[in-house]
Structure 1
Amino acid sequence: MSTPTAPSLKTHFTTLAPAPLVAHITDSTGHAILSTSSSVSQSQQLQSLSHAYLSAHDTACRMGLGVPKRITVETVRGAVVMQTGTEVDGAPHGDMVVGVVLAPEERMAEARVASWGVEEVAARVGRVVAEGRRARG
């Protein structure tokens, strides 16, 4: 009897944000970890959004507002951007894994659900990064 093969994290990630939604995960330095982006240009723009999240996160913490859970941006062009950040446990300097979901405004409910899934994947990636650091440490 054969055992079913578990889907890879990348396959699971791809199913979280079916087109026209786009999902993207980066580390604190802006390096893409997982992405459903269809072009280099779009990937670079999503990385810029990740940097913006990190700046907003840092500012909110420094101002004593607490740790942001999620940032949602609606644009006049009819797009929605949902961002989340997961801190990497035991990492120096508060390293994070940042998740971004981009969607048309009329798909906001789907973007919210996708954002929760992306946040879960980002947390799993963060745990793997933390385990790797402990193993090297």
Structure 2
Amino acid sequence: MDTAAVRDRLLGDRRAWTEAVLECAAAVAAGWDGDATTDRERVVPPYRAALDRAGVLDAAPAVLRECVAAAGGSLAADPVAAPPYVVVTGEGLLLRATLDTRLLVRVRAFRLVADGERRRYERAATTPEEAVVVETTD
């Protein structure tokens, strides 16, 4: 599976979409008191809402189809903008497709930092090159 081609797709033809994912994360983080939050509810629900308002979630199934095609695969069913295909997480946006192996496409906009028992969410990558992670699993 050609994960490099998937990454190239997200950094090339779909760069504006990837940038929109990160812009939504920046807007969410701007609403925090400081540069981090310990409350997951201040990350995931507002992030999902921002992605929805920006049209990112509506476009995600088409982006996933393009990623699968770039990887050299094809989907058995049309993906939808909901789990298991599109998932908004505390780290960002995840696109998933099960082919011969599972294709995982992440736009990591946040990171979860554990400091002893205390956990906090921080902004992570701010550029598509830093944020896009493509991998496969069995």
TM value normalised by structure 2: 0.32
TM value normalised by structure 1: 0.32
Considering Cα pairs closer than 8 Å and 6+ residues apart, tell me whether 1 or 2 has the greater RCO. Answer: 2
